[in-house]
């Protein structure tokens, strides 16, 4: 969903020509239309811009997730502002990609989010790690980083790090040689300790607070 008709038409054409596995079921030029279309069509992946008339992308994502928690949302926007990125992810977006991305990156991002991964482009990840402090949100964990980490075991921190890299529970279980049930239990405890309520918010917290050797590439 995008408020720039020319860009929207170009994106639809690109998706239809470049990848026959992706079906575009509807488009909207403002946030209210986006919510109405989602209620009617329940698409597997919803693409949103940050800046849209009537309702912005962050508010659309928030309302959409409240109504349909299983929805997969990918933000596709020109805004690389750390506060907006944090707000979008806290609202429930599963991915954040800039509009200057190559066509293949957009297609891969759609498929990755559809498969349940959390995707943040390298440029966006740098903005999160190097930019000015983000505005606090109501959903952000209230405890300091050190206090939160003290409540997590080393294995739970490993799980959180892999979660922030966009790994599914199955992929985490394979990486750490654990059962999926054990991974789910670890993830649930991480949510409780950090006072967070979604995979995306936990990944955002980890991106901002955990040290990582990865400096580039999607999370």
Label residue 129 by pLDDT band (50, 70, 90): low
Contacts 24+ apart (CB under 8 A), 130-139: 131/81, 131/82, 132/82, 133/82, 134/82, 134/83, 134/85, 134/86, 134/87, 134/208, 135/83, 135/86, 135/87, 137/86, 137/87, 137/90, 139/90, 139/196, 139/197, 139/201
φ, ψ of residue 31 to 5 degrees: the values are -65, -35
* 49 in a structural domain: yes
What pLDDT is recorded for position 75?
92
Judgement on whether residues 121 and 153 belong to the same structural domain of the protein: no
- Mean model confidence pLDDT for the chain: 80
The pTM of the full predicted model, rounded to 2 decimals, is: 0.63
Strand partners, 206: none
Return d(Cα 108, Cα 121) in angstroms, integer. Answer: 11
Q: At which residue do the structure tokens 């990486």 appear?
A: 175
Could you tell me which of 121, 99, 6 has the C-alpha nearest to residue 47? 99
In the chain the first and final C-alpha atoms are separated, in Å, by 23
**Residues 134 and 83 sit within 8 Å (Cβ to Cβ):** yes
What pLDDT, in 10s, does the model give residues 181-216? Answer: 888 888 888 888 888 777 777 877 787 777 544 433
What pLDDT, in 10s, does the model give residues 133-155? Answer: 444 333 333 444 555 677 888 88
Is 48 in a helix, a strand, or coil? strand
Strand partners, 96: 75, 120
Judgement on whether residues 158 and 93 belong to the same structural domain of the protein: no
Return d(Cα 62, Cα 68) in angstroms, integer. Answer: 10
The range of the structural domain enclosing residue 165 comes to 145-209
Q: Tell me what the mean pLDDT of segment 169-185 comes to.
A: 88
What pLDDT, in 10s, does the model give residues 8-23? Answer: 888 888 888 888 889 9
* 89 in a structural domain: yes
Domain end point (choices 130, 153, 178): 130
Judgement on whether residues 126 and 149 belong to the same structural domain of the protein: no
Judgement on whether residues 111 and 157 belong to the same structural domain of the protein: no
Judgement on whether residues 107 and 163 belong to the same structural domain of the protein: no
Phi/psi-derived region of residue 92, left when phi > 0, alpha when psi is between -120 and 50, beta in every other case:
left
Strand partners, 46: 73
* 76 in a structural domain: yes
CATH number at residue 200: 1.10.10.10
Percent of the chain with pLDDT over 90: 22
**Pairing mode of beta strands 119-120, 95-98:** parallel
């Amino acid at each position: 969903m995008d408020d720039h008709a020319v860009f929207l038409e170009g994106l639809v054409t690109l998706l239809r020509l470049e990848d026959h596995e992706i079906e575009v079921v509807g488009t909207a030029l403002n946030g209210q239309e986006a919510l109405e279309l989602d209620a009617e069509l329940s698409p597997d992946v919803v693409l949103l811009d940050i800046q849209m008339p009537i309702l912005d992308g962050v508010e659309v994502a928030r309302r959409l997730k409240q109504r349909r928690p299983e929805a997969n949302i990918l933000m596709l926007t020109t805004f690389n502002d750390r506060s907006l990125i944090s707000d979008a992810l806290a609202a429930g977006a599963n991915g954040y990609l800039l509009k200057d991305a190559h066509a293949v990156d957009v297609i891969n991002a759609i498929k990755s989010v559809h498969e349940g991964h959390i995707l943040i482009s390298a440029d966006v990840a740098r903005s999160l790690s190097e930019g000015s402090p983000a505005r606090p949100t109501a959903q952000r964990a209230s405890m300091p980083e050190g206090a939160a980490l003290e409540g997590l075991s080393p294995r739970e921190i490993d799980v959180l790090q892999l979660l922030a890299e966009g790994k599914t529970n199955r992929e985490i279980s394979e990486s750490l040689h654990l059962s999926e049930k054990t991974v789910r239990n670890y993830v649930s405890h991480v949510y409780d300790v950090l006072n967070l309520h979604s995979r995306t918010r936990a990944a955002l917290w980890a991106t901002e607070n955990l040290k990582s050797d990865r400096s580039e590439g999607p999370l």
